[in-house]
């Protein structure tokens, strides 16, 4: 099969990039022709390692220099906001007249094969401009209710022109199926796969709690820090490491100093090697206010690290299913402290839960998820003929 993934920035560090690379690598490893098209490129090489057979190219390459005249035209276009992307799209600021032109030109150039787009703006553009002989799949990494009303209205209208929409959770699949129920678009639930590399198992004996994600309000790291403060008083040898970058970093640093946690809570920045850090942890914590899926939960579990997570919409409840982790009432800081404390003070519970987590995470093994994608691709391709 000829499979293409269209990403906003394949050279960035982020959950969507990491999971799409995992998908592309698994499909290329199975012998498919796989290409990743990145709207933007801002560095020489991608952060996440690609399978040797995955071809990568960019539509707007900031690392190359255009001829003088063209450079001025492109700068003029890049300085003007997009005329095609809905302004309430979370990454609207990354689109402009130059990306409009490059994306549409790319979409219209396609002839056959499969195109998987990976965020609402790209899904909507694909629905509008991709030729009919291409299998179009809009991949959703955020849940439907996360989108603002204006963007949701466009989704309700234009997604009907796609061949399929995939969601990361079953709950979100039901929502999209309801919204698009009168159309012929197929709505499928396919979760994100784990990385292909064999996960090192944590020994669960380090006094370390780990959190990871973009440093934005929705990830709730402020709440996690507040929940960890009482733990430090009773267990001063335990540490909390938070991996990720984002606009909330300065505020979180100030909170750490305000709570006198500077010797116990560390903002570690982004890392392309999160799997190595997860294998060092004894507990994983997620305090998000909402999640599209919560891929990092399954990644932690694949290392045998038991998670403690708010039961936020929509992913954690589908990932943590019983004895493989703890689900906490969303926003209940005291309950989060209690859950973390249980696993800190009871190594026997921690180890038993970690064992269950390791087994449970096999649901997201790359080959298992790959076969679900292959089946969908084959059925949609056959329907085109």
Q: Which domains does the chain have, with CATH numbers?
A: 2-193+365-384 (3.40.50.2000), 208-364 (3.40.50.2000)
- Kindly tell me if the per-residue pLDDT of 194 is higher than 60: yes
According to the model, what pLDDT value does residue 15 have?
A: 84
Residues of the chain with pLDDT > 90: what percent? 86
- Give 234's contacts (C-beta < 8 A, 6+ positions apart): 341
- Kindly tell me if the per-residue pLDDT of 372 is higher than 80: yes
Q: Which of the residue ranges 182-186, 246-250, 266-270 would you say has the lowest mean pLDDT?
A: 182-186
| Mean pLDDT rounded to a whole number for the chain | 94
- Kindly tell me if the per-residue pLDDT of 69 is higher than 60: no
Instruction: Report how far residue 142's alpha carbon sits from residue 16's, in angstroms, rounded to the nearest whole number.
Output: 10
According to the model, what pLDDT value does residue 2 have?
A: 95
Going by C-alpha positions, the residue among 309, 313, 293, 300 that lies closest to residue 356 is: 300
According to the model, what pLDDT value does residue 202 have?
A: 97
**What are the backbone angles phi and psi of residue 8, rounded to the nearest 5°?**
-65, -45
Confidence of residue 67 (pLDDT cuts 50, 70, 90): low
Query: Which own/partner contact pairs does 124-131 have at CB distance under 8 Å and 24+ positions apart?
Result: 124/85, 124/86, 124/154, 124/155, 124/158, 124/159, 125/84, 125/85, 126/6, 126/162, 127/158, 127/159, 127/160, 127/161, 127/162, 128/158, 128/161, 129/103, 129/104
Going by C-alpha positions, the residue among 340, 291, 301 that lies closest to residue 321 is: 301
Pair type for strands 2-7 and 114-117: parallel
Task: Tell me the chain's radius of gyration from C-alpha atoms.
Answer: 21
Confidence of residue 66 (pLDDT cuts 50, 70, 90): low
195-208 average pLDDT score: 88
Q: Are the beta carbons of 65 and 71 closer than 8 angstroms? A: yes
249-260 average pLDDT score: 98
- Give 113's contacts (C-beta < 8 A, 6+ positions apart): 1, 2, 3, 4, 134, 135
167-177 average pLDDT score: 94
According to the model, what pLDDT value does residue 122 have?
A: 98
**What are the backbone angles phi and psi of residue 56, rounded to the nearest 5°?**
-125, 130
82-90 average pLDDT score: 96
| pLDDT tens digits, one per residue of 285-334 | 999 998 878 889 999 999 999 999 999 987 899 999 989 999 999 999 99
Residues of the chain with pLDDT > 70: what percent? 98
Q: Which of the residue ranges 31-40, 101-110, 124-133, 270-279 would you say has the lowest mean pLDDT?
A: 270-279
131-149 average pLDDT score: 94
What is the strand order of the sheet 283-286 is part of?
265-269, 239-243, 208-212, 283-286, 307-310, 326-328
**What are the backbone angles phi and psi of residue 112, rounded to the nearest 5°?**
75, -175
According to the model, what pLDDT value does residue 230 have?
A: 97
Q: Which of the residue ranges 9-23, 191-205, 323-337 would you say has the lowest mean pLDDT?
A: 191-205
- Kindly tell me if the per-residue pLDDT of 50 is higher than 80: yes
Alpha helices, H only, the chain = 15-29, 68-78, 97-109, 120-129, 149-158, 170-179, 221-234, 249-258, 274-278, 295-302, 316-319, 333-345, 347-360, 366-384
- Kindly tell me if the per-residue pLDDT of 129 is higher than 60: yes
């Amino acid at each position: 099969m000829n499979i293409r993934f269209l990403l906003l920035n394949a050279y960035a560090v982020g959950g969507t990039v990491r999971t799409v690379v995992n998908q592309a690598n698994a499909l290329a490893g199975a012998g498919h022709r796989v290409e990743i098209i990145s709207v933007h490129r801002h560095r020489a090489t991608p952060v996440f390692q690609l399978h040797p057979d995955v071809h990568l190219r960019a539509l707007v390459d900031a690392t190359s220099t255009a001829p003088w005249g063209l450079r001025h035209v492109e700068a003029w276009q890049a300085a003007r906001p997009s005329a095609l992307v809905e302004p309430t799209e979370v990454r609207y600021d990354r689109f402009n007249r130059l990306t409009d032109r490059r994306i549409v030109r790319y979409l219209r150039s396609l002839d056959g094969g499969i195109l998987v787009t990976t965020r609402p703006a790209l899904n909507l553009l694909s629905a509008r401009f991709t030729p009919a002989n291409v299998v179009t799949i809009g991949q959703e990494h955020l849940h439907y209710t996360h989108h603002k009303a204006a963007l949701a209205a466009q989704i309700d209208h234009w997604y009907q022109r796609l061949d399929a929409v995939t969601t990361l959770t079953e709950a979100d699949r039901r929502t999209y199926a309801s919204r698009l129920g009168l159309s012929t678009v197929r709505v499928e639930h396919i979760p994100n796969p784990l990385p292909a590399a064999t996960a090192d198992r944590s020994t669960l004996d380090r006094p370390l709690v780990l959190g990871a994600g973009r440093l934005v309000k929705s990830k709730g790291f402020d709440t996690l820090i507040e929940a960890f403060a009482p733990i430090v008083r009773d267990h001063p040898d335990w540490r909390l490491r938070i991996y990720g970058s984002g606009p909330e970093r300065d505020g979180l640093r100030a909170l750490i100093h305000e709570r006198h946690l500077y010797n116990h809570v560390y903002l570690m920045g982004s890392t392309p090697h999160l799997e190595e850090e997860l294998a060092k942890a004894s507990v994983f914590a997620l305090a998000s206010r909402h999640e599209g899926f919560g891929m990092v939960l399954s990644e932690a579990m694949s290392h045998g690290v038991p998670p403690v997570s708010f039961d936020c919409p929509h992913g954690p409840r589908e990932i943590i299913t019983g004895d493989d982790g703890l689900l906490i009432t969303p926003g209940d800081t005291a309950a989060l402290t209690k859950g973390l404390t249980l696993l800190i003070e009871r190594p026997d519970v921690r180890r038993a839960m970690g064992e269950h987590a390791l087994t449970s995470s096999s649901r997201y093994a790359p080959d298992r998820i790959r076969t679900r994608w292959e089946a969908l691709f084959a059925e949609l391709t056959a329907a085109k003929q």
